[in-house]
Amino acid sequence: MRRKIVAANWKMNMSLYETENFWKVFDTEISESTNIEIVIAPPFTALYKLSELTAKSQKVRLGAQNMHFEKSGAYTGEISATMLRELFVRYVILGHSERRQHFGETNELINKKVLAALASQLRVILCVGETLAEREAGKEKEVVEKQLRGCLKGVKPEQFDDIVIAYEPVWAIGTGRNATPEQAQDCHSAVREFLSELAGKEIAQRVRIQYGGSVNPSNAPQLLEKPDIDGALVGGASLDPRNFALIVRAAESTQSS
Ligand code: PGA
């Protein structure tokens, strides 16, 4: 049984004031005994605040949206895994398509970050997904396989338990156009196949695969009931505490015991 994992990716949004207001509402919407894992990845500037706010409740784990692969040094503007650990960050999102697209991140660079995060006991949410042109050319699985092989190079089988894969078709991110549950399931089961080749069938069965791309409270229930969809990575809809709570509830109600 895989425990579902729903993560909020706030991207470059949310001031400290907005973070506090979000938490006031979200905290009351979510029960202490939730049967799924909830992660919030705010911008770096709100990590400390959110870490203080969430410390008491233990309902939510903290995530970061990026990190550098070195531990420290002359890397102006960067943040290391050690610094994230100090703020009680448990997860780091790596390989997001916006970082690939706007900041030139390659599979090779992302691989360095994955290895560094794991070595610092951070869990990784690794994003993969094809562009619209790649899907139209029928190449989505090929692209995703290449990303997985490149980004997970050198990861030891026993480290796969600290990895979550987020399948996020680029054409569905922030566009309001989500993949259908069938399209998503098809790619998720292909991802699991690739993971079996990389780490063995038993381990691949344990790895959680999130879907991301225009997830909202109305499409979440159908997506999350698919057998290989183990959670969601949510951008836009996670900025509203009530909407995000509804997505969490959809995950809770599709969680098999
Ligand atoms: P979206 O973003 O939910 O706004 O489409 C998802 C993501 O980028 O992780």
DSSP β-bridge partners for residue 210 = 166
Q: Which atom of ligand 1 is nearest to the CA of 98?
A: 8
pLDDT in tens, 42-100: 999 999 999 999 988 788 999 999 999 999 999 999 999 999 999 999 999 999 999 99
- pTM above the 0.85 mark? yes
212 Cα: distance to centroid of ligand 1 (angstroms) = 6
Measured distance CA(246)–CA(232) in Å, rounded = 12
- The residues spanned by each domain of the chain are 5-254
Is residue 225 among the annotated active site residues? Answer: no
The tokens describing 190, both together, are 């292909």
pLDDT in tens, 199-253: 999 999 999 999 999 999 999 999 999 999 999 999 999 999 999 999 999 999 9
As assigned by CATH, the class of the 5-254 domain is alpha beta
Please count the CA atoms within 13 angstroms of the CA of 200 that sit on its side-chain side: 9
Q: Which atom of ligand 1 is nearest to the CA of 178?
A: 5
Give the residue, out of 209, 211, 233, with the most ligand 1 atoms within 8 A of its beta carbon, to mutate for a pocket test.
Answer: 233
pLDDT in tens, 4-50: 999 999 999 999 999 999 999 999 999 777 899 999 999 999 999 99
Q: Is 136's pLDDT higher than 80?
A: yes
Residue located nearest, by CA, to atom 7 of ligand 1 = 235
Catalytic residue, candidates 37, 130, 145, 168: 168
